[in-house]
Each structure stands twice: as structure tokens, then as C-alpha cells.
Amino acid sequence: METYPRVKSVKPLEGKRLLVIFHNDEKRIYDCSPLLTEEVFGPLRNDSFFKMVKPDRGGYGISWSDELDLSESALWLHGIPAEQGPRAGRS
């Protein structure tokens, strides 16, 4: 079974995207727009709710509520590497 880096932090961006920083200091942009067509992800259409995103305890994903979350593997596999200067914390 393949393992993926755990989530260190997450920041909501414009256009229903997320900036996800993993424990290996890799930054990826995850686009939540395709999820909005699925009924379960409907609450993400609300900007205030979307901005409530936070990393799960232990970094095994992110969540908006007890019922709505994404795993670290989905974020890692479907996120696009962010081109945002030097990686924080890298020596």
C-alpha cells in the first residue's frame, strides 16, 4: 500500500481551489470545482462554508465538517504542484 505525505496546512483560494501544504513542504493546488456537481459536496458552493476548511488531526486529510472531508491521497494525487517561490522551511 502506497503512503502519501500528510497535510500540514490548507488555505482556501479563489475559484474553489485550495492551497495544500504537506509535511514534506510540497505545495499543491487542489481544484474543488469538479466536486460541486456531486450532491454530497453541495455545501462547498457556499463561500463561507468553503473557507471553513481545516487539516484533520494527524494530517490524514482535510475537512469542512464531520460529514465532509477529503483524504491526503486525493489531495496529493489530484493536486497540481504550486509554483510559488521557495518552499517554506526548506534548507
Question: Model confidence at 88, in pLDDT bands (50, 70, 90)?
Answer: very low
Is the predicted pLDDT of residue 83 greater than 90, yes or no? no
Question: Model confidence at 90, in pLDDT bands (50, 70, 90)?
Answer: very low
Polymer length in residues for the chain: 91
Which pLDDT value is given to residue 74? 97
Which pLDDT value is given to residue 2? 75
Model pLDDT for residues 54-79, shown as the tens digit of each residue? 999 999 999 999 999 999 999 999 99
What does the domain layout of the chain look like in residue ranges? 7-81
CATH of 7-81 given 3.40.50.720, 3.30.2020.10, 3.30.590.20, 1.20.1050.10:
3.30.2020.10
Which pLDDT value is given to residue 85? 38
For 29-62, letters b (16+ CB in 10 Å) and e give bbebeebeeeeebeebeeeeebeebebbeebebb
> Is pTM, for the whole model, over 0.75?
yes
